Amino acid sequence: MATAATPSVAGPAARDRLRRAGALAPVLAVIALLLVPGGGGAQGGTGGTGTVADAASGLLVLICLVRVVRGGARPLTRTAAVVLGLPVLGICLAAITSNDPASSLPGVARYVQVFVLVPAAVLLTVRDRRDFAVVAWTLVGLALLQGAVGVAQYLTGTGASYQGEDIRAVGTFGATDVMGMATVVSYGLVVVTGIALGSGPGRARTAALVCAGLLFLPLVLSFSRGAWIATVLACALQLVLAGPLRAVRVGLAAGALGVVLVGGLGIGSDLVEQRVASITRVTAAPDQSVTDRYTMWAAAGEMWRAEPLTGVGLKGFPHYRDAHASVALSSGSDTAGAGAAFQRQPLLSPHNMYLLVLSEQGLLGLLALVGSWSALLVGALRGCRAGSGPGSVSGADCALVATGLLVWQLVDFFYADIGGPSTVLMSVVLGLAAWWSLVGARRA
């Protein structure tokens, strides 16, 4: 009798796992395909990249649309529809009022894809906390693989060029998208920090701590100042939300790990020290990259003052840049290494998402986009009060992960904007956070 009962118990469980994997497959495919090296450069602003991951995100949206039509029920609550759809208002208004509406159309498609369609598709695909955990751990897996490639690039001198040496860890993203690996590894580090600080199973927390140690080094070797700052602030907030005593313990452990990896082992210590010091050198002997960034920020501000409500139009920053930028702006940034020849990459965006939106979509567009993100952040923070609830995945874990990812992205947007292959991963992350903020927290 016992032998006969085994299939009846295992059968439904196995079928449930298969159904769950099949439902999540489109989302997981978008993440996994970011391991495929991209052929295009990292275009700033609304530039597209045409990668296989972008194609997979389009397929994800299409599959989700078919499921919604077949289901026949209203897929989103009114609140979720308003929060996710709010950016469309600023996007469409900026395109209509643009001096060249035809050239703005690709920007409309890109913004709607990145900030509306893909996040909504992820929200509708994730059904419960277990699905959330599967997607989150898949992000960690991608981060570990990209980080391993990055560390190997540093050790073998096959990375992107940095201060005359091919040592910058960029993973499979190449020298034209030096922020790609840093972004992926940062996402992974924020995810495992949230899991380690949560109240889930002990084995999951132990695995998360191990992964955090493995991801720390490639993040350091990315030499990405913006990613460092965003990661420190996001993880610090997670520590505070998890409780002061745990924050102190984990903070001391993280500090000791940093001393061992960078100071004790001497891995990139001199270069890292110089890079950290350059963060504060804004007026006192800044490097050319800092000068270029602040010059483009000033140019974006000038564009906004010229068109304060609706901006100069989507994809308008490159066209109006030279008319508003000072002579301090260089002609572009040098890229080389990681299998690519030397090339001069033009500066097509201000490398600040808020200023890019302000200059191209005006105050109305910025308020719509930031309003949507703020609503998601408020929902995520409210969800931090959720208890563990039933199931193997803690609501506290989801809350810390979602809040950390949102804060990381909102801070990083002060130093980066959309563009490059990793942009589609940002859409998945926003969708994951949106599920918790708008759906998951209410069920916990």
Give pLDDT tens digits for 39-93.
544 444 444 457 899 999 999 999 999 988 887 767 888 999 999 999 999 999 9
Least confident piece of the model among 36-40, 195-199, 316-320, 418-422:
36-40
Kindly report the average pLDDT of the chain as a whole number: 83
Q: Which residue has the higher pLDDT, 77 or 37?
A: 77
CA distance 142 to 371: 30
Q: For tokens 């999540």, what's the residue?
A: 24
Q: Is the pLDDT of residue 247 over 90?
A: no
The pair of structure tokens assigned to 185 is 């590894």
Closest CA to 171 of 349, 402, 420, 341: 420
Q: What is the tens place of the pLDDT at every residue in 278-321?
A: 666 555 556 677 788 888 999 999 999 999 999 999 999 988 88
Predicted pLDDT of residue 80 = 92
pTM of the predicted structure, to 2 decimals = 0.89
- Plot region of 391 (φ>0 → left; ψ -120 to 50 → alpha; else → beta): left
How many whole angstroms separate alpha carbon 429 and alpha carbon 136? 9
**390 pLDDT band (50/70/90 cuts)?**
very low
With beta carbons less than 8 A apart as the criterion, state whether 351 and 420 touch: no
pLDDT band at 267 (very low <50, low <70, confident <90, very high): low
pLDDT band at 352 (very low <50, low <70, confident <90, very high): very high
Q: Crossing angle for the helix pair 202-221 and 129-156, nearest 10 degrees?
A: 40
Percentage of residues in the chain with pLDDT exceeding 70?
A: 79
pLDDT digits (tens, 9 = 90+) for 426-443: 999 999 999 999 988 776
More confident residue, 84 or 394: 84
Mean pLDDT of 223-248: 88
Least confidently predicted of 98-102, 199-203, 408-412 = 199-203
Residue 406 has pLDDT above 90, yes or no: yes
Comparison of pLDDT for 17 and 87, the residue scoring more: 87
**DSSP-derived secondary structure letter, 33:** G
Other Cβ atoms within 10 Å of 101 Cβ, number: 14
In the prediction, which pLDDT does 7 show? 47
